[in-house]
Structure 1
């Protein structure tokens, strides 16, 4: 029922009505009325971060690991501008977020008042939609609309900017409307004629590939289940983007691994040589396509996506299907079964023979050491020792992120949180805080590089304050690893500002926060050290000292096609090029 209340109370009531249980935020003058209301209730928990960027990344981790929208609360001016990186990150990766920002009173807007910023103007390019609330009577409607927009169609971040006088004023609160009452209603059902034509193409394809992305995970558990059923029924191989890992199990026998710039040789070769490529919930990102004019040059292409603006934006496709992944896959399976479950099995068997030949390259092979921990080895041991546990992985951005994608394996969706499109250093630690808050009994590990990790190191305070036992697994090579690798391979080994010459003692840093610090530099000690990290019942900083100049392969050099990859010299025979790599 409609009832009278202050704008600040409306905010809390709307969050309650939307099923929100956690808000990540940082208080300030322009949001104190909302914080006062948060203090007077017990339904919603507020997690005090140490930086507003971390609040948004924590909300991203919460959202990605639960499938529910994440919520962040920040003050005006610098509070809102500090949230911009997280908003852009969520927009690029289609993460549903609601960011509530305070604003100076309406009568002061435009006066350059204390901590005033044009938040709506600043965040317009990095949100799915945003609103400036100018009347308390409009606040409930806009808050409910924010949740609807963030979670409908292609998910994304939204922002509601709430002036302080709107928070103090009294108005009429209206409860959450039915979803059908909103004007924004993206179509979820795909065109049946296009779906039927795609099934016909699948029936005669000799070299099909499923290319999947984060849209499968965003569509919910049903989409992942339907994808698995479709892959197993047809027998076609499947690959995935960085954001789509876990939608199809890595242990599945149709799995080719990740594709793209640091994807597996067999996945990239299959994408290049296929004759039918079915893109499901991905957007043909440049890290996937390489040279667009040479991308999968001989294939008929299909694209299933909820966002019509993504289709034919980068790669022209023959079967454009706008719709929610789960709905489209359900229809696709039904039509395929109704038409007799037909596939060219003989051609498919030959296609798999070629793929098995590509797998013999063993593209992830590396030269191990008995004296120095190789980063690949560290992640192999982390995978082996945590396999089967209730485990969630977040990452920072760089070489360690790609190695984690290559060497850690995910059989379920929502277990892998990483910054894909924006590539945000500093994402992983606060994201792990959000994941741990959502899953208090789970093992949450942030795979980090020392450079990325230092960008939001202050969140150790958050982890300690709320008893969140997040494990920070830092592959410490004392370098900006990916920058250094590119400088070695592409810039004549001129290492411009890519060596970290002043790093903290991470063990002492952990202890300064009251957490546990572990350092390991000997491969022989690594298993015991990892188990010590896992078994400790609080936050841990694990300083894993690794080979300083190891390169991440495979790698598609900039401007090259999928079938022009650099492999490490342990993967193939041939003339060794720069950085111990061979062009194949």
Structure 2
């Protein structure tokens, strides 16, 4: 079969039914082949940033690798932030870009470039396909690598003339993935955890990604252990309604160390490097705390801290075995759980009281807006958060239970939220999606609204609009007194005038409204359960108040 036919055959056999892309001249041989493949839907995006974000959300929702087609060096460059997000969040993507025609590539023609060099730092692996007979094997490897721990995006550079060749190539058969296996060392790990007097658990995003939430709950309950979400978690890795849930760790070593100091043994499951953000001196793990670490990626074990017991294996299978080893072995578990539940209920009540007391009329306090979203979110909804400061206010108020109910990215590439929300809805038919976005984040990814309108998906975009980069102002305040004394924050203001996101929504063909208070916002969010198309909600919120 011809190279382009082999490409389509691999896509079908790997379960691909949608191609996410923005085509150019170097992708025309592929596009021409897709024209004759009605079973492959081409999902067009009007900017590569939105394209990769769409694919990221879709891959997470379907738990399968998504296929992305970008356009030469410039299109790849536009998509790099999304690829960085996918790498950090361990999202499996297979990404191609069309390279210029090999017959004049040495002459440095327009559109050409070092595609592999450009992609290398943002993806898990790269393939520079130079010969037609290498393409089918490279594609098979790319799909296998994308899902192998640690999962992530894999990139292939494919010259346009290669796909147009009338050359017979061999198609290697698809290999079944290896069956899940229990990690070694479970009995010793169970012994260390059972002997602990004050155990804790850190639920990493690998738990939610690999579908191991129920198994981790069983382990925590067998121990009566306090459970923390990893810092800046981008999935729901432990039920927010569970009495043992203590919320998320803050993203600094000092804050993590303080939270873990009362605990003598901590189980860290599926957590990449603890995701510290701002630097603070000292280690994340207190000297008095022993670590049992479980991950599907062998490179994570002992990567940033010493472990008393490291385990590499399938998270659901290993946690299930660990729960069996611990069940009935820790008599103190029930009492610990009662005490933890009391403490955690008090913490949640304090956050809720503060949000209830906050300004609820627009421009409202970010805590009031967060409370409206958290309280009104339909039970079956998926919440996507890219709101920075309003997101910080939201997380302690959430009471999510379903393992797939929360989407975020720890990659730091702003602008993913709108596209990821659309991709999530595309991969989760029948479920409403509510996206809480900051105005700065939304400005980075407005092109995704075009897809929301074109696909008509039930996504409610809630944009918390404070007209500034508030998180940077707050961080700048901590660097000294020069900026605060003059009340001047250069380059950190988006307004005045107020950014009217309803106008932006209208341009793309998305219905929109602006809310005036917390109750109105709650009513709109609750209506997501019955929405049949996209809606953008402009929510004016208060900006930063400099310290006196």
Give your verdict on TM over 0.5: yes
Distance, in Å, in 1 between the alignment partners of 2:415 and 2:247 is 26
CA contact (8 A) 1:71 1:98 kept: yes
Counterpart in the other structure of 1:178: 175
1:477-556 matched pairs, under 5 angstroms: 477-492=466-481, 493=484, 494-501=488-495, 502=497, 504-531=499-526, 535-549=530-544
SS in 2 for 1:58: helix
Counterpart in the other structure of 2:10: 14
Task: Give the gaps of 5 or more residues in structure 1.
Answer: 551-577
Matched, 1:105 2:93: no
Report the count of equivalent residues: 535
SS in 1 for 2:107: coil
Describe the shift of the 1:188–1:97 C-alpha distance in structure 2 as closer, same or farther (beyond 3 A).
farther
Matched, 1:252 2:242: yes
CA contact (8 A) 2:205 2:236 kept: no
SS in 1 for 2:447: helix
1:60-71 matched pairs, under 5 angstroms: 60-71=56-67
SS in 1 for 2:233: helix
SS in 2 for 1:446: strand
1:238 counterpart (227, 234, 238): 227
Distance, in Å, in 2 between the alignment partners of 1:537 and 1:579 is 45
Q: Deviations over 1:339-375 (max 9, x none)?
A: x523544984697389459838935634412544222
1:28-43 matched pairs, under 5 angstroms: 28-43=24-39
Distance, in Å, in 1 between the alignment partners of 2:127 and 2:194 is 48
Deviation, 1:304, is 0.8
Distance, in Å, in 1 between the alignment partners of 2:257 and 2:372 is 26
Counterpart in the other structure of 1:341: 329
Counterpart in the other structure of 1:559: none
| TM-score (structure 2 length as normaliser) | 0.90
Counterpart in the other structure of 1:134: 130
Counterpart in the other structure of 1:386: 377
Describe the shift of the 1:310–1:33 C-alpha distance in structure 2 as closer, same or farther (beyond 3 A).
same
1:174-573 matched pairs, under 5 angstroms: 174=171, 176-179=173-176, 188-191=181-184, 194-219=185-210, 221=211, 223-241=212-230, 242-243=232-233, 245-261=235-251, 270-283=259-272, 284-287=274-277, 291-293=281-283, 295-337=285-327, 341-345=329-333, 348=336, 352=340, 355=343, 359=347, 362=350, 365-366=354-355, 367-372=357-362, 373-388=364-379, 390-420=380-410, 422-492=411-481, 493=484, 494-501=488-495, 502=497, 504-531=499-526, 535-549=530-544
Deviation, 1:98, is 0.8
Q: CA RMSD in A?
A: 2.8
SS in 2 for 1:298: coil
CA contact (8 A) 1:518 1:533 kept: no
Q: Deviations over 1:480-512 (max 9, x none)?
A: 121122123434324121111255422222222
Describe the shift of the 1:524–1:380 C-alpha distance in structure 2 as closer, same or farther (beyond 3 A).
closer
2:72 counterpart (69, 76, 89): 76
Distance, in Å, in 2 between the alignment partners of 1:52 and 1:360 is 40
Deviation, 1:114, is 1.5
